């Protein structure tokens, strides 16, 4: 399983290094969203600091939709997904490999996003390590469900519209907990004992387990 | 009596109990000291919400039954889909009746209270499930993917609930389940409340049976079409 | 002479594609060490038949046995012994030929060198290995996917329209490798409109018609 995961993750990241879709298209998207939020709160720029945690997670969620769609569109490009089945790769390994590859891309995007929030919104961050931890765990939770849903929908006619409809309600707890965790950490109130971080961990763990177990059923035609 | 008749009789029974609940709720029971006539919504709203949860419970169980290889059968898939459709209707009813109740008591149609938010998320969660079924054409794929999506929803609901409860809550705490039918609710009120639960559950069962039979008939018709197409192809040689 | 082992045994199989019977009560056999040709017009069911043998397509009724394994059960075990080249190249456009081959080799647990040997056998070497697959011509891409499939050295190789977009040289390579595979006891199934092309080297022929395979 781990061998398959490594093969898939390395392959996906190599494709990203060559095609630079995340770098050239999703990263600018994040920048645009950061600017657009500033327009939306145009009258009260100070509010941006208050709502920054929420904006962070909304932006992360939307860019994860794009990254997930990209990750699976390259599999359907030349029916490569068929190949993965033909080569007899362990479905659980494919699942984990996909999660890892998109997670690496998302971490890059979220570092950029955090910098944007610090510099454009004049937000002061204190507990950087805690912040990074809760962000990564939260993102892992989003992707744990997202990879399953993307695999289900990537071959369907309505793939662009159905993925957000499926994913957004399910990851609502991540949005809530992630925002709260960020708020607490910005306020310097809580460390890793924060129950919100606990909820993020629980979410990620539950859906990683489910995804690993069910990806075979999802992938097989 | 054949099965069809039984279903019809059961339907009539379910609708009658609903009618009795209405009569009891609107005329027989007294108005509340504080809430006045608004309290009458208590005979509908919690019962409708209970049915929504019951429906999704059935969806989850039958999805698991489909995914488990030993019990794999399309019947489970059809049952899951039927129950979800009815569940979505009852979730929407929960939101509507809650909203009607909320406006005069809280002064707003909507508030970001824990239970309301959870219910709203529940609605979109299962709308997504139904949409996924719509876009998946192959029968086996639809069944498998639907079952996995239902399982995801099943695991998600408690987490959603927990996160939203922590987030905020101003909902009235449950009055019926924690009490020994009690000083707050008495006599005919308690009976009407119970009857409400019973009647809406009966309506749910009737609707699911109906929906399930339609789904089965659709599948049978599809089968017939397929058999014909095969015969035609074989015969064309 | 010992009787030849039967590699594929398909009996009265119906496969539905979106409600349409792409195969209708189809029978089909492949034995070891033979080259089987399947001809037939568009929509006659060639592709579905090959996908069925490859274990990437379910079926409604009938029986499918590949290497004696009943495909009603787990198809995953069979896939290890079957190579398949379809209409789609199954390659990643954003990777070079070398990277694609390396990826496939590591998926399949075969040495990289073997994949490159087959690649050079199909006339892919030197600079071309470092070109992105997306920038190759259709014929070159076909050569890459053929090389990848042959490098698995499977007992059964299924080729769906391998001639499409291949040039004369490419077709020659294909014939040579197929003949060599047969000598090693392996079986090659080729679906093609270009009947004349492989005619000379084929052991048996089928004609697909209305979702059934007729022996010729």
- Average of per-residue pLDDT across B164-173: 64
Domain that holds residue B121: 3-219
* Among the listed residues C156, C163, C167, C161, the one whose alpha carbon sits nearest the alpha carbon of residue C123: C167
pLDDT digits (tens, 9 = 90+) for B82-115: 999 999 999 999 999 999 988 888 888 888 888 8
pLDDT digits (tens, 9 = 90+) for A159-197: 889 999 999 999 999 999 999 999 888 887 766 678 899
In a domain, C98, yes or no: yes
B195 versus B172: the higher-pLDDT residue is: B195
B230 touches chain C (CB under 8 A): yes
pLDDT digits (tens, 9 = 90+) for B4-44: 899 999 999 999 999 999 999 888 888 877 777 888 888 99
Contact B233 C58 (CB under 8 A): no
A221 touches chain B (CB under 8 A): yes
Answer yes or no: is pLDDT of A147 > 80: yes
User: For chain B, what is the mean pLDDT?
Assistant: 88
Number of domains in chain A: 1
Contact B132 A220 (CB under 8 A): no
Residue A81: what pLDDT? 75
Residue B35: what pLDDT? 77
CA C42-C45-C49 angle, to 5 degrees, is 140
Residue A155: what pLDDT? 81
In a domain, C162, yes or no: yes
| Structural element, H or E, at residue C11 | strand C6-17
Q: Which residues of A touch C110 (CB under 8 A)?
A: none
Residue B112: what pLDDT? 84
Q: Please tell me which of the candidates C21, C58, C60 has its beta carbon nearest to residue B233.
A: C21
Buried b (16+ CB within 10 A) or exposed e, A94-126: bbbbbbbbbbebbebbbebbbebbeeebebebe
Residues in contact with C92: Cβ distance below 8 Å, sequence separation at least 6, in sequence order: A11, A15, A74, A77, A78, A80, C99, C100, C103, C133
Contact C107 A87 (CB under 8 A): yes
Q: Which residues of C touch B237 (CB under 8 A)?
A: 209-210, 212
Percent of chain B at pLDDT above 70? 91
Give the integer Cα–Cα distance in Å for C150 and C177.
Answer: 8
Residue B185: what pLDDT? 63
Do residues C135 and C81 make contact, with C-beta atoms less than 8 angstroms apart?
no
| Structural element, H or E, at residue C28 | strand C20-31
pLDDT digits (tens, 9 = 90+) for B126-168: 999 999 999 988 888 899 999 999 999 999 999 998 888 887 6
Domain that holds residue C24: 6-215
Give the integer Cα–Cα distance in Å for C49 and B151.
Answer: 34
Output the pTM of the full model: 0.91
* Among the listed residues A173, A165, A55, A179, the one whose alpha carbon sits nearest the alpha carbon of residue A117: A55
Do residues B219 and B78 make contact, with C-beta atoms less than 8 angstroms apart?
yes
CA dist list (Å): B223 to B79, B146, B216, C12: 18, 21, 10, 18
Do residues B74 and B143 make contact, with C-beta atoms less than 8 angstroms apart?
yes
Give B161's strand partners.
none
A125 touches chain B (CB under 8 A): no
Do residues C37 and C192 make contact, with C-beta atoms less than 8 angstroms apart?
yes
ipTM attached to this prediction: 0.92
H runs (alpha helix) in B168-186 = none
Number of domains in chain B: 1
- Determine the distance in angstroms separating the CA of B9 from the nearest CA of chain C, rounded to an integer: 36
| C-contacting residues in B 207-226 (Cβ below 8 Å) | 222, 225-226
Q: Which residues of C touch B225 (CB under 8 A)?
A: 19
Residue C196: what pLDDT? 73
CATH at residue B132: 1.20.120
In a domain, C1, yes or no: no
In a domain, C94, yes or no: yes
Burial class (CB in 10 A: 0-12, 13-18, 19+), B36: exposed
In a domain, B134, yes or no: yes
Do residues C208 and C45 make contact, with C-beta atoms less than 8 angstroms apart?
yes
In a domain, B52, yes or no: yes
A25 touches chain C (CB under 8 A): no
pLDDT digits (tens, 9 = 90+) for C75-85: 877 887 899 99
Buried b (16+ CB within 10 A) or exposed e, C81-97: bbbbbbebbbbbbbbbb
Domain that holds residue A123: 2-220
Answer yes or no: is pLDDT of B182 > 70: no
| Structural element, H or E, at residue A219 | helix A195-219
Contact C90 A80 (CB under 8 A): yes
Query: Which of A171-175, B210-214, C89-93, C196-200 has the least mean pLDDT?
Result: C196-200
Number of domains in chain C: 1
CATH at residue C67: 3.40.50.300
């Amino acid at each position: 399983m781990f061998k398959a995961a490594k093969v898939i993750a390395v392959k996906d990241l190599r494709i990203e290094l060559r095609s630079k879709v995340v770098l050239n298209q999703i990263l600018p998207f994040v920048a645009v969203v950061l600017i657009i939020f500033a327009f939306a709160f145009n009258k009260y720029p100070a509010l941006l600091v208050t709502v920054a945690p929420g904006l962070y997670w909304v932006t992360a969620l939307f860019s994860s939709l794009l990254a997930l769609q990209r990750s699976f569109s390259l599999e359907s490009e030349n029916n490569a997904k068929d190949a993965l089945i033909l080569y007899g790769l362990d479905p659980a390994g494919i699942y984990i490999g996909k999660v890892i590859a998109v997670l690496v891309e998302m971490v890059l995007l979220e570092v950029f996003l955090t910098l944007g929030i610090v510099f454009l919104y004049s937000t002061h961050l204190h507990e950087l390590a805690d912040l990074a931890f809760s962000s990564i765990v939260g993102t892992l939770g989003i992707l744990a469900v997202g990879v399953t849903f993307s695999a289900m929908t990537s071959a369907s006619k309505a793939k662009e519209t159905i993925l957000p409809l499926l994913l957004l309600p399910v990851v609502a707890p991540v949005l809530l907990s992630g925002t709260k965790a960020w708020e607490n950490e910005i306020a310097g109130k809580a460390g890793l004992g924060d129950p919100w971080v606990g909820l993020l961990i629980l979410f990620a763990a539950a859906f990683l387990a489910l995804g690993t177990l069910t990806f075979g059923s999802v992938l097989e035609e | 009596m054949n099965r069809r008749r039984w279903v019809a009789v059961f339907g009539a029974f379910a609708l009658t109990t609903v009618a009795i609940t209405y009569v009891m709720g609107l005329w027989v029971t007294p108005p509340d000291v504080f809430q006045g006539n608004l309290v009458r919504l208590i005979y509908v709203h919690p019962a409708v919400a209970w049915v929504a949860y019951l429906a999704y419970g059935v969806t989850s169980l039958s999805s698991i039954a489909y995914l488990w290889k030993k019990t794999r059968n399309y019947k489970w898939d059809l049952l899951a889909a039927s129950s979800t459709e009815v569940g979505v209707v009852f979730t929407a009813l929960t939101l509507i009746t809650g909203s009607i109740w909320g406006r005069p008591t809280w002064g707003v149609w909507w508030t970001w209270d824990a239970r309301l938010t959870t219910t709203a998320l529940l609605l979109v969660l299962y709308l997504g499930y139904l949409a996924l079924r719509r876009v998946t054409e192959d029968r086996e794929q639809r069944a498998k993917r639907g079952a996995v999506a239902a399982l995801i929803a099943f695991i998600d609901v408690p987490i959603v609930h927990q996160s939203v409860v922590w987030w905020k809550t101003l909902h009235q705490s449950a009055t019926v389940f924690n009490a020994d039918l009690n000083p707050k609710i008495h006599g005919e009120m308690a009976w009407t409340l119970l009857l409400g639960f019973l009647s809406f559950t009966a309506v749910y069962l009737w609707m699911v049976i109906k929906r399930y039979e339609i789904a089965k008939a659709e599948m049978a018709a599809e089968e017939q079409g397929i058999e014909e197409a095969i015969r035609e192809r074989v015969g064309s040689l | 002479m010992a009787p030849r082992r039967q590699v594929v045994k398909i009996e009265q199989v119906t496969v539905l594609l979106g409600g349409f019977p792409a195969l209708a009560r189809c029978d089909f056999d492949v034995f070891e060490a033979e080259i089987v040709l399947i001809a037939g017009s568009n929509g006659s069911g060639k592709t579905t038949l090959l996908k069925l043998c490859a274990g990437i397509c379910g079926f409604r009724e009938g029986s499918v046995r590949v290497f004696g394994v009943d495909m009603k059960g787990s198809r995953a075990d069979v896939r290890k012994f079957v190579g398949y080249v379809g209409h789609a190249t199954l390659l990643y456009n954003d990777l070079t030929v070398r990277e694609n081959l390396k990826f496939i080799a590591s998926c399949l647990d075969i040495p990289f060198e073997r994949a490159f040997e087959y690649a050079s056998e199909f006339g892919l070497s030197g600079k071309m290995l470092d070109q992105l697959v997306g920038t190759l011509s259709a014929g070159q891409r076909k050569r890459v996917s053929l090389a990848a499939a042959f490098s698995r050295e499977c007992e059964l190789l299924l080729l769906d329209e391998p001639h499409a977009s291949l040039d004369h040289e490419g077709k020659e390579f294909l014939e040579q490798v197929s003949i060599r595979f047969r000598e090693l006891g392996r079986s090659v199934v080729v679906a093609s409109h270009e009947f004349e092309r492989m005619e000379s080297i084929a052991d048996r022929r089928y004609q697909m018609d209305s979702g059934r395979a007729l022996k010729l």
